[in-house]
Amino acid sequence: MSLHAANRKLVMRLAFGCVLMFGFGFALVPLYDVFCEVTGLNGKITNTGPIAASEADTSREIRVRLIAVHNEEMPWQFGPQQGLILTHPGEMKQTAFMATNPTGRRMVGQAIPSVAPAEAARYLHKVNCFCFEQQTLQPGESVEMPLLFVVDKNLPEHIRSLTLSYTLFDISPEVSSTGRGEKEQSL
Amino acid sequence: MSTLDTTLETHSDEHHGPARGLGRWLFTTNHKDIGSMYLWFSLLMFLVGGSMALMIRAELFQPGLQLVEPGFFNQMTTLHGLIMVFGAVMPAFVGLANWMVPMMIGAPDMALPRMNNWSFWILPFAFAMLLSTLFMTGGAPNFGWTFYAPLSTTYAPPSVTYFIFAIHMMGISSIMGAINIIATILNMRTPGMTMMKLPLFCWTWLITAFLLIAVMPVLAGVVTMMLMDIHFGTSFFDAGGGGDPVLFQHLFWFFGHPEVYIMILPAFGIISQIIPAFARKRLFGYASMVYATASIAILSFLVWAHHMFTVGIPLAGELFFMYATMLIAVPTGVKVFNWVATMFRGSMTFETPMLFALAFVVLFTIGGFSGLMLAIAPVDFQYHDTYFVVAHFHYVLVPGAVFSIMAGVYYWLPKWTGHMLNERMGRLHFWLSFIGVNITFFPMHFIGLAGMPRRIPDYALQFADFNMIASVGAFLFGLSQLIFVWNVIACVRGGRKAEARAWEGAEGLEWEVPSPAPYHTFAEPPKLPESVR
């Protein structure tokens, strides 16, 4: 094989390697989500969807604390109906967060959940939740955002209380500038 | 693999000197011209980035805000880091590779000379773009060289877009340089030069080039994601849209940790060329050096999260990354002991290149030890983001990477210019640099352990004395580099005539050609000299 051909072949391979690594960088984004979901790290889990009904384990009592956080200058009034809920593993509990838009303009908000300790994230099933949904509020409008959750019976013994926190983000500028629809809900 | 028949054909009509005028430099495909341009560019960037460091140290001379606005201070720390990493250290190594790799392996030129020209000429434009942000509304990037999102996306000045494209261009340049070096080393060795006879500078560069190809595209991906977050409404790193800022750190350090080895492996190679030459002994443990380099490169992909111990990774993760990081000390230790064993009972002389190489071994090892301290996850919570980190990475990069480059330049300068350097000035430069570097960075260990955070323009009073000492050292170190500039220019213009083998104990093909090296070398593949066989 001549030197020219050998160089050509090698360069093609190396360039292909570069393209592959560029793709790998992007592939790390979903891989990271999958990794967090499998391991429950980062408190990032979103166990949403129906769950098979089962007996509650009344021998254990779990304290679930609900927290609302406003990101930056988000002006909405936003908070849980009850700050603390006592529940048993396997028991279905319903509560809600209240949101009011006190401003004079139409705004879009989006709440991102997080569970602490991170280890507990995968044991908190949210049967119905407003996580990651875009909520539009007209000036002065209020809305009740329901939350239905079950703490899994397999929750490790040493966890007696857990915290579910929602951070509310103002995404009005993004929604109006890009006109992106509801696709974020699928996350 | 190493048939050179085609090369002879294509190069047979090029046995003339360089072209004249500016066109020589714009259109050159000669590895020596391009190597020189890389090195001059790197020197220029070293002085620009160094001036920024002096502005930082001037502001930190006393507590309180005296000289610059805090916003401008942040721009200085950011640009100082970016310019030194991407503009000074990396191009200098590529320049040395351009000059020396073909001459060390007996090749007539780099494998892809036109691409070589292109990969250099991208750089001045990339850095012009990066530096132009200083004059833009909102100022230059101010989020630190690690550009953590969302600081570099949601809260960034508008000039961040220019920064992103500058990073893209630097990445393309490095990748092309890396491809070129791999192709040259793998395909163009003179007959008889097997892989295990390759000079170590070529070996370390070969491994570095593979690291570049593996991680520069990831960096390009990260800045592309930032670009999309800023301008196209995606939410890779924006928690409000379901993204994750911690993801940015994972991606960045997946690039960032191999990157720090990209900046030190070629240095290992240079030191492994110089120490045997001035100890007049063969390098001790050649094969172990090669395997150690490869092990460091592989391990570098498995330790990135030690930069992020405090983000809340679980205990198992902290332990894994802690032990993996400590494991790197083993191959690095092999290298240090090999250098020491090479010198043991050697007939050592202490010319300027050797002085820099010796300082490298000692001071790089100090930087390595502070790295081990930082690798201990439980105590990292105290050291994280303090001046201790600053002290650590400056010890491995300044008396590490930068000293090795200076050692390499002093070592090969007679080959490039045909003149011996001014030894007295070289030693003066060495001693002032050696003292200056230690006065600058050693006190940073203490103020870091005492809790002074990095990247701040003002600090509490108890840190005042050590900061003042560090600033004095910084000006001593910075100004003594002018001696280096003077010495290089003087050596280009004249001086004692250098022989083909400029240093008595120097071995290798590059010392078989006359000094200065003719414009075209090794049009015919050379026979290996006795010492290399």
Q: How confident is the model at residue B2 (pLDDT cuts 50, 70, 90)?
A: very low
Residues of A in contact with B172 (CB under 8 A): none
Centre a 10 Å sphere on the Cβ of residue B180 and count the other Cβ atoms it contains.
29
Compute the average pLDDT of residues A151-156.
85
Compute the average pLDDT of residues B186-201.
93
Confidence at residue B429, expressed as pLDDT on a 0 to 100 scale: 97
Gap from A167 CA to chain B (nearest CA, Å): 8
| Active-site annotation of B, residues | 80, 109, 145, 173-174, 257, 259, 261, 272, 306-307, 332, 335, 454
Buried/exposed B491-508: b ≥16 CB within 10 Å, e otherwise: bbeebeebeebbbebbbb
Residue B410 or residue A107, greater confidence:
B410
Gap from B179 CA to chain A (nearest CA, Å): 7
The answer to whether the Cα torsion of B420, B425, B428, B432 is positive or negative is negative
Q: Is the CB of residue B162 less than 8 Å from the CB of residue B130?
A: yes
- The B-side interface with A (CB below 8 A) comprises 1, 3-7, 111-112, 175, 178-179, 182-183, 186-188, 213-222, 225, 232-233, 235-236, 239-242, 244, 246-247, 250-251, 254, 312-314, 317
pLDDT digits (tens, 9 = 90+) for B295-314: 999 999 999 999 999 988 88
Of chain A, the percentage scoring pLDDT greater than 90 comes to: 13
Gap from A57 CA to chain B (nearest CA, Å): 29
**A13–chain B Cβ distance below 8 A for any pair:** no
Q: How confident is the model at residue B531 (pLDDT cuts 50, 70, 90)?
A: low
Say yes or no to pLDDT of A1 above 80.
no
Say yes or no to pLDDT of B10 above 50.
no
Q: How confident is the model at residue B235 (pLDDT cuts 50, 70, 90)?
A: confident
Say yes or no to pLDDT of B112 above 50.
yes
Compute the average pLDDT of residues A143-169.
86
Cβ distance B233 to A17 less than 8 Å, yes or no, reads no
Element (H, E) at A42: none
Please give the Cα distance from B450 to B382 (Å, whole number).
Answer: 9
**A2–chain B Cβ distance below 8 A for any pair:** yes
Confidence at residue B522, expressed as pLDDT on a 0 to 100 scale: 92
Residues of A in contact with B236 (CB under 8 A): 29
Confidence at residue A134, expressed as pLDDT on a 0 to 100 scale: 81
Collapsing DSSP to helix, strand or coil, B261 comes out as helix
What is the residue-averaged pLDDT of chain B? 93
Query: Nearest CA to B405 among B9, B122, B42, B14?
Result: B42
> Given strand A84-87, what is the order of strands in its sheet?
A84-87, A62-70, A161-170, A107-116, A134-137
> Rg of chain A over CA atoms, in angstroms?
22
H-only helix segments in B238-351: 245-262, 265-279, 286-299, 315-327, 329-343
Q: Is the CB of residue B179 less than 8 Å from the CB of residue B115?
A: yes
pLDDT digits (tens, 9 = 90+) for B309-332: 998 888 888 999 999 999 999 999
The answer to whether the Cα torsion of B134, B140, B142, B144 is positive or negative is negative
Q: How confident is the model at residue B261 (pLDDT cuts 50, 70, 90)?
A: very high
> What phi, psi does A160 have (nearest 5°)?
-110, -20
Residue B363's Cα: distance from chain center in Å? 16
Of chain B, the percentage scoring pLDDT greater than 90 comes to: 88
**A16–chain B Cβ distance below 8 A for any pair:** no
Please give the Cα distance from B340 to A129 (Å, whole number).
Answer: 65
pLDDT digits (tens, 9 = 90+) for B139-159: 999 999 999 988 999 889 999
Say yes or no to pLDDT of A127 above 90.
no
| β-bridge pairing A62-70 and A84-87 | antiparallel
- The torsion angle over the Cα atoms of residues B487, B490, B495 and B498, rounded to 10 degrees, is 60
Residue A42 or residue A81, greater confidence:
A81
Gap from A165 CA to chain B (nearest CA, Å): 13
Q: Which of B10, B247, B254, B259 to mutate to test the interface with A (most CBs of A within 10 A)?
A: B247
pLDDT digits (tens, 9 = 90+) for A91-114: 888 888 888 888 888 888 888 888
Residues of A in contact with B242 (CB under 8 A): 112, 132, 184, 187
Residues of B in contact with A119 (CB under 8 A): 314
Count CA atoms within 13 Å of residue B141 on its CB side.
28
Q: Is the CB of residue B173 less than 8 Å from the CB of residue B126?
A: yes
Please give the Cα distance from B231 to B26 (Å, whole number).
Answer: 35
Cβ distance A171 to B251 less than 8 Å, yes or no, reads no
Query: Nearest CA to B218 among B246, B178, B258, B245?
Result: B258
Cβ distance B3 to A2 less than 8 Å, yes or no, reads yes
Centre a 10 Å sphere on the Cβ of residue B9 and count the other Cβ atoms it contains.
12
Confidence at residue A174, expressed as pLDDT on a 0 to 100 scale: 66
> Minimal Cα distance from B238: which residue of A?
A169
Confidence at residue A141, expressed as pLDDT on a 0 to 100 scale: 87
Confidence at residue B488, expressed as pLDDT on a 0 to 100 scale: 96
Confidence at residue B514, expressed as pLDDT on a 0 to 100 scale: 93
Please give the Cα distance from A62 to A42 (Å, whole number).
Answer: 21
Cis ω before B70 (30° cut-off from 0): no
Cβ distance B186 to A10 less than 8 Å, yes or no, reads yes
Confidence at residue A83, expressed as pLDDT on a 0 to 100 scale: 85
Cβ distance B236 to A29 less than 8 Å, yes or no, reads yes
Give the closest of A25, A71, A132 to B218, CB-based.
A25
Gap from B370 CA to chain A (nearest CA, Å): 29
Give the closest of B179, B188, B220 to A11, CB-based.
B179
Confidence at residue A46, expressed as pLDDT on a 0 to 100 scale: 60
Tell me the CATH class for B5-13+34-511.
mainly alpha
Confidence at residue B7, expressed as pLDDT on a 0 to 100 scale: 43
Cβ distance A6 to B250 less than 8 Å, yes or no, reads no
HEC readout, A143-155: EEEEEEEEECCCC
ipTM value greater than 0.85:
yes
Residues of A in contact with B239 (CB under 8 A): 71, 112, 167, 169
- The torsion angle over the Cα atoms of residues B514, B520, B523 and B527, rounded to 10 degrees, is 20
**A71–chain B Cβ distance below 8 A for any pair:** yes
Residue B231's Cα: distance from chain center in Å? 32
CATH 1.10.287.310 fits A44-186, yes or no: no
Give the closest of A14, A29, A41 to B213, CB-based.
A14
Please give the Cα distance from B104 to B133 (Å, whole number).
Answer: 40
Please give the Cα distance from B436 to A121 (Å, whole number).
Answer: 52
> Minimal Cα distance from A116: which residue of B?
B312
Q: Which of A175-184, B136-145, B448-457, B466-475 has the lowest mean pLDDT?
A: A175-184
Element (H, E) at A68: strand A62-70
pLDDT digits (tens, 9 = 90+) for A40-76: 666 555 666 666 666 777 888 888 888 888 877 788 8
Give the closest of A1, A44, A112 to B240, CB-based.
A112
Domain ranges of chain B: 5-13+34-511
**A108–chain B Cβ distance below 8 A for any pair:** no
Tabulate helix, strand, coil % of chain B (nearest 5).
70, 0, 30
Residue B370's Cα: distance from chain center in Å? 19
DSSP annotation string for B442-456: HHHHHHHHTTPBSS-
For B50, B54, B408, B477, the CA distances from B47, given in Å and listed in that order, are 5, 10, 18, 12
Cβ distance B222 to A25 less than 8 Å, yes or no, reads yes
Residue A176's Cα: distance from chain center in Å? 22
Token pair for residue B331?
A: 């191959």
> Minimal Cα distance from A187: which residue of B?
B242
Confidence at residue B116, expressed as pLDDT on a 0 to 100 scale: 95
